[in-house]
Structure 1
């Protein structure tokens, strides 16, 4: 079974049908029906297995919201069909894509295999967190910045253990932070357009760009604040280390 996003981290994850049903609250039977009626995008196929992701989860939430507002399945199917064709209410699709990080990703460099057994605990945790991928029985990191550091290390395992420690120690904090950032985006959007506002077709690009900007701003501010806090703690750690050496009457080896 593919581990859900909340096992190790809260990034984009993949789910089997039963996992998606459990997380979304929509029965597997209804998910199949939505897919057959054109409401839900097809899953990613790998052999005989089907994998859904966070975008499908977002679509299910949208479907539930429309059903609660009185839309029929036929209306919703037509709605999604027109969105896929780029007609009329495509604005909402643009908004969803912006929330999920819809900007085109730059071309990724060729993956470098890790010196790590794909079946070991560390590898499975990296896969569950979405920080690694398995291709042709070799494991490689998915984040270019992390991959560049780790693949050039002489002791990759210690770097990987560092990554997993950070993931484990920040899991709850990251989820709470993400919820607060999304709430801030919702408030900012409501302050500009009004609560419950549905964009007009001609506002699609504007709304998608605004939400994408809000998302990027939130992440940039968090990165900046984290960097400042780490600098303070690093200075403190170095000072404590130096003081410890002095206290122990350290002397260089002659």
Structure 2
């Protein structure tokens, strides 16, 4: 999950620093995470700001919004209403500690991309993976660079498709919300459990479908690749040239 300093949050949200501070004081915005004297905000705060801005444009007053958020915090763990952020983004957790140093030159193209994509951090001049699962796989690999290139290829190939999938998911949630509670209606606390359950069902359905489709597509490409590989051997008659290292 991305984190933002106050000025960065103001830039990406379009809400001024002054208004963000005012929202915090009035109880509209959750407190930031403190690291020393630095206040760090995350995607939940960004979503809260987007929700507040939309409600204000629809004619709700800041007092009304603050009262509603307060009642939600007291009634359920969903302080972030309308966007249903916790149901969509999953449980809120502290940022993971970097877990594994890679044998990758931080000044190389691969090293720069890992950091730029948020997959790794630079710690003491070393490239350190931020995800424990990915770090475990890479640590077992005989050739870190080969695996890193595959990882980067996966990320770059998935970016556009994932944006389309995420947009379809959010559009479906928007339609669901409007059908269930209406466009300008703020749901009561007792209605939130059902809405959260439906959102989680939508997400589970999407994950299952995408996993199955990815598996099917992978099988098709593997069969095609094996066929091309075998055909190349038969046509050339040179096994050594095609034999994997």
* Aligned residues between the structures: 238
Match of 1:200 in 2: 188
Instruction: Tell me how far 1:141 sits from its aligned partner.
Output: 3.3
Alignment gaps of 5+ in structure 1? 1-11
Question: C-alpha distance in 2, partners of 1:153/1:80?
Answer: 48
How far the C-alpha of 1:233 sits from its partner, in A, is 0.9
Q: 2:231 aligns with which of 230, 243, 246?
A: 243
Quote the residue 1:23 is aligned against.
Answer: 12
1:72–1:48 Cα change, 3 Å: same
1:167 and 2:185 correspond: no
1:229 to 195, 217, 220: 217
1:9 match: none
Partner of 2:75: 86
* Distance verdict in 2 for CA 1:134–1:212, change over 3 Å: farther
SS in 1 for 2:140: coil
1: CA distance, partners of 2:58 / 2:194: 25
Residue 209 of structure 1, CA deviation: 1.7
The answer to whether the 8 A contact 2:115-2:121 is kept is yes
- The TM-score with structure 2 as length reference comes to 0.80
- Of the candidates 46, 51, 55, which is equivalent to residue 62 of structure 1? 51
Residues 163/209 of structure 1: CA separation in 2 closer, same or farther (3 Å cut): same
State how 1:1-254 maps to structure 2 within 5 Å. 12-86=1-75, 92=81, 95-102=84-91, 111-117=99-105, 121-133=109-121, 139-191=127-179, 193-196=180-183, 198-251=186-239
User: 8 Å contact 1:91–1:200 — kept in the other structure?
Assistant: no
Q: Does the 8 Å CA contact 1:199/1:207 hold for their aligned counterparts?
A: no
| Cα shift at 1:227 | 1.5
1:123–1:205 CA distance, 2 compared to 1 (3 A): farther
After TM superposition, the score normalised by the length of structure 1 is: 0.77
Which ranges in structure 2 are unaligned for 5 or more consecutive residues?
none
Deviation digits for residues 74-114 of structure 1, max 9, x if unmatched? 33233323333336985828932102223x77xx9993333
**Does the C-alpha gap of structure 1 residues 87 and 250 become closer, same or farther in structure 2, counting only changes over 3 Å?**
closer
Question: Residues of 1 paired with 2:3 and 2:97: CA distance?
Answer: 23
Query: Cα offset for 1:36?
Result: 3.1
Q: Within 2, Cα distance between the matches of 1:44 and 1:120? A: 33
The Cα of 1:172 is off from its aligned counterpart by 1.9
Contact 2:6–2:17 (Cα < 8 Å) also in 1: yes
CA distance in 2 between partners of 1:74 and 1:96 (Å) = 22
